């Protein structure tokens, strides 16, 4: 726009006759109703990424933050330097844990729709991220998950009835009905208490790892957040602390392309990768095909070995896709094309491992179908058992007084007074 006054006031002519400034607001490629075309999707070839020594200097592997570690090729064969060469029993254990996670999600989503609980969040399409990592870590390594790593608990054989009790907030809920469904806590499984506040677990995991190092322990920590949550300040503080103290920690970014309705561009994906965040902190950064469970496993093992040998932290971006809605409170058809999930170029993590196992001759379609049936029954039976402890709103909850417990180690006078007041109020109401 020309200057209507045509004057040379202010900075003079040097600042004139330039285009007007424009604010760039990112926009995803496909919106509801759009036909999806991923043909320009750049997928690095399987096996092309070299596997450096675990003690490598971060600066020497900068390129890896822009690449993609992949092991399973289009035919389901495991190829390249990152092939972890897992024994058949481990492969089948992985497959089963992923299938169980999906069956569990399906059942609990339905339970929410049936009004048995208030809320649920599926991890469909992202099962490899948590299960590949969980099986690559030692059981006593502490995980600081976000809300979409239920696969860690399942991979660590945590009883699904216990998880369901939490979801139903019933009398069997170890968290006494205090937490929103899926905000598990399972110290025995190395699964840190989930918080609703995003990315707070990141510096906590770094602190846990620093404590382990300061005490001369051998255990490491791992943490997860979504790509959207990397925009939080805690992400930055965690990376800074991890780098400064060379903390034995693995920081996972699950880039599933979507943060509720916001595509990854709103967390910075148009400009660079999320793994590339590592470069600026001097942290080893890996970028992994998150739908390739063998790649996730191999990258996690690499990062764990690196941490265990005091070579420092690793940031891993798991490139994947959130197949379902953000939560039971979300309808993704309102902001993205319905075709996206089925056309996702990196496929489905369960289907890919299944193909691999069949190719190895250790699995077949019949056995897979039988496993799916068995898991569905197992989940259904567990849900029936859990429902005997009560479902949300049906009265079988922890005693009302339990609300006041655990705010502090010992209940202070003002809480005792409020507890008494509550009981008196209910008594006066004849309840």
Q: Residues 412, 420, 424, 426: which binds another protein (CB under 8 A)?
A: 412
Residue 118 near another protein by CB under 8 A = no
Per the CB < 8 A criterion, the answer to whether 183 and 195 are in contact is: yes
Does residue 176 interact with another protein by CB under 8 A? yes
CB of 283 to another protein, least distance (A): 14
State the nearest-atom distance from the C-beta of 231 to another protein, in Å.
14
Q: How far is the CB of 399 from another protein (least distance, A)?
A: 13
**What is the closest distance, in whole angstroms, from the C-beta atom of residue 24 to another protein in the complex?**
28
Q: Interface with another protein by CB under 8 A: which range of 86-94, 195-203, 274-282, 379-387?
A: 195-203
If the CB atoms of residues 126 and 141 are measured against another protein, the closer one turns out to be: 141
- β pairing state of 284-289 and 314-319: parallel
Which residues in 392-411 contact another protein (CB under 8 A)? 406-409
Q: Which is nearer to another protein, 230 or 355 (CB)?
A: 230
Contacts of 103 (CB under 8 A, 6+ apart): 372, 375, 376, 378, 379
Phi, psi for 253 (deg, rounded to 5) = -110, 115
Q: How many residues bind another protein (CB under 8 A)?
A: 46
Comparison of 193 and 261: residue with beta carbon closer to another protein: 193
Rule CB under 8 A: is residue 207 a binding residue for another protein?
Answer: yes
* Shortest distance (Å) from residue 4 CB to another protein: 41
Site string for another protein, 119-148 (x = CB under 8 A): -----------------------x-x----
Burial of 430 (0-12, 13-18, 19+ CB in 10 A): exposed
Q: Which is nearer to another protein, 178 or 394 (CB)?
A: 178
Q: List residues binding another protein (CB under 8 A).
A: 142, 144, 174-176, 178-179, 183, 185-187, 192-193, 195-197, 200, 202-212, 214-215, 221, 233-234, 236-238, 240-241, 244, 406-409, 412-414
């Amino acid at each position: 726009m020309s200057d209507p006054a045509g004057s040379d006031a202010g900075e003079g002519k040097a600042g004139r006759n330039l285009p007007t400034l424009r604010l760039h607001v990112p926009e995803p490629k496909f919106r509801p109703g759009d036909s999806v075309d991923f043909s320009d999707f750049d997928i690095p070839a399987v096996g092309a990424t070299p596997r450096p020594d675990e003690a490598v200097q971060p600066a020497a592997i900068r390129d890896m933050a822009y690449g993609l570690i992949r092991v399973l090729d289009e035919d389901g064969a495991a190829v390249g330097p990152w092939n972890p060469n897992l024994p058949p029993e481990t492969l089948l254990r992985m497959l089963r844990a992923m299938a169980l996670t999906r069956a569990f999600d399906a059942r609990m989503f339905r339970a929410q729709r049936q009004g048995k609980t208030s809320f649920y969040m599926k991890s469909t399409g992202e099962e490899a991220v948590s299960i590949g990592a969980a099986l690559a870590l030692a059981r006593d390594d502490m995980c600081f998950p976000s809300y979409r790593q239920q696969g860690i608990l399942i991979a660590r054989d945590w009883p699904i009835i216990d998880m369901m009790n939490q979801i139903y907030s019933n009398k069997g809920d170890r968290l006494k009905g205090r937490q929103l469904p899926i905000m598990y806590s399972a110290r025995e499984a190395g699964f840190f208490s989930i918080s609703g506040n995003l990315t707070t677990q990141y510096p906590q995991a770094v602190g846990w790892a620093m404590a382990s190092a300061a005490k001369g322990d051998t255990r490491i920590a791992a943490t997860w957040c979504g790509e959207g949550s990397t925009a939080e300040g805690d992400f930055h503080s965690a990376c800074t602390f991890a780098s400064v103290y060379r903390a034995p920690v693995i920081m996972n970014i699950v880039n599933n392309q979507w943060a509720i309705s916001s595509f990854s561009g709103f967390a910075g994906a148009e400009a660079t990768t999320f793994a590339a965040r590592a470069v600026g902190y001097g942290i080893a950064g890996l970028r992994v095909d998150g739908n390739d469970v063998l790649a996730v496993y191999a990258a996690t093992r690499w990062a764990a070995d690196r941490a265990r040998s005091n070579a420092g932290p690793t940031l891993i971006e798991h490139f994947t896709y959130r197949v379902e809605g953000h939560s039971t409170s979300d309808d993704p058809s309102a902001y993205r094309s319905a075709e996206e999930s089925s056309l996702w170029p990196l496929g489905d993590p369960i289907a890919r491992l299944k193909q691999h196992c069949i190719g190895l001759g250790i699995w077949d379609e019949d056995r897979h179908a039988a496993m799916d049936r068995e898991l569905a029954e197992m989940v259904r039976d567990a849900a029936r058992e859990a429902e005997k402890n009560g479902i949300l709103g049906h009265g079988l909850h922890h005693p009302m007084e339990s609300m006041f417990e655990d705010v502090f180690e010992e209940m202070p006078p003002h809480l005792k007074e409020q507890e008494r007041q509550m009981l008196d109020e209910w008594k006066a109401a004849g309840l």
